[in-house]
């Protein structure tokens, strides 16, 4: 496989599904608001043009992309830039937007709702010609909340057909080291399914700084089909 197209292959395996939205709703109400820890607030102060750069290590095991294909391992850079408040599509409200770029792959926009004490997920959109609609959540899903502690669980997310599920819980509060330095973080584990694929995603989020490290794996049955690790290398403030 041409390495130039590996980010696109990874995106397909991640099944963002922006052009095939499915009706969905959380399986439970939002969790009770935890006691706010002063050092956690504001959760994510941002200004237009702020950017986060990551080193991404991608592994696709043998026989995944095609029968007899060799294992693929690559490294590339990913940049997440805050664009300000943007409407995902005509008729949708403006919300906080990040644009994620990877060399050789279409840019993706991540739509979130940033409040003083929490960040909620709203949707995403891959900027490619065949994409007609963003994936949009009418009811936002909590991503991080100030004061969250190990054992805190977010409401389960499930599509109406049950094909896509997500469940997130807080595993620990810990300090981790990445190329950009050492950061106190909350470690979040998300598990779920997307059709016949099983997902396991671990995110280390530092209050006031953002995502520091992320690990994503996908399995089909007991076979690993995708593994990606990204670590923060730099944070740059917008002008």
Place of tokens 């991640």: 14
User: pLDDT at residue 12 above 60?
Assistant: no
Tell me the per-residue pLDDT of 192-221, one tens digit each, with 9 for 90 and over: 999 899 999 999 999 999 999 999 999 999
What pLDDT was estimated at residue 7? 37
What's the DSSP call for residue 15? Answer: T
Q: Residue 195: is it exposed, middle or buried by C-beta count within 10 angstroms (0-12/13-18/19+)? A: exposed
Helix H segments across the chain? 6-14
Mean pLDDT along residues 174-190: 98
User: pLDDT at residue 11 above 90?
Assistant: no
CATH architecture classification, 3-236: Beta Barrel (2.40)
Give the E-state strand segments of 103-207 in sequence order.
105-115, 118-126, 135-145, 157-159, 164-178, 181-194, 197-206
Place of tokens 């770029």: 101
Place of tokens 């922006």: 18
């Amino acid at each position: 496989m041409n390495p130039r197209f590996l980010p696109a292959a990874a995106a397909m395996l991640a099944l963002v599904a922006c052009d095939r939205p499915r009706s969905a709703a959380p399986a439970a109400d939002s969790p009770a608001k935890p006691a706010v820890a002063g050092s956690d607030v504001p959760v994510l102060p941002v200004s237009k043009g702020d950017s986060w750069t990551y080193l991404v290590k991608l592994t696709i095991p043998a026989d995944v992309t095609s029968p007899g294909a060799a294992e693929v391992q690559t490294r590339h850079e990913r940049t997440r830039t805050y664009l300000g408040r943007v409407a995902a599509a005509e008729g949708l409200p403006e919300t906080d937007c990040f644009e994620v770029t990877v060399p050789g792959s279409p840019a993706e926009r991540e739509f979130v709702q940033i409040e003083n004490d929490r960040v909620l997920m709203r949707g995403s959109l891959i900027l490619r010609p065949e994409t007609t609609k963003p994936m949009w959540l009418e009811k936002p899903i909590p991503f991080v909340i100030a004061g969250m502690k190990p054992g805190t669980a977010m409401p389960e997310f499930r599509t109406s057909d049950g094909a896509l599920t997500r469940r997130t819980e807080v595993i620990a509060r810990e300090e981790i080291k990445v190329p950009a330095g050492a950061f106190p973080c909350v470690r979040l584990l998300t598990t779920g399914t997307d059709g016949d694929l099983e997902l396991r995603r671990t995110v280390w989020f530092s209050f006031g700084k953002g995502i520091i490290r992320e690990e994503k794996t996908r399995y089909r049955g007991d076979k690993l089909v995708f593994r990606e690790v990204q670590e923060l290398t730099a944070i740059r403030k917008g002008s």
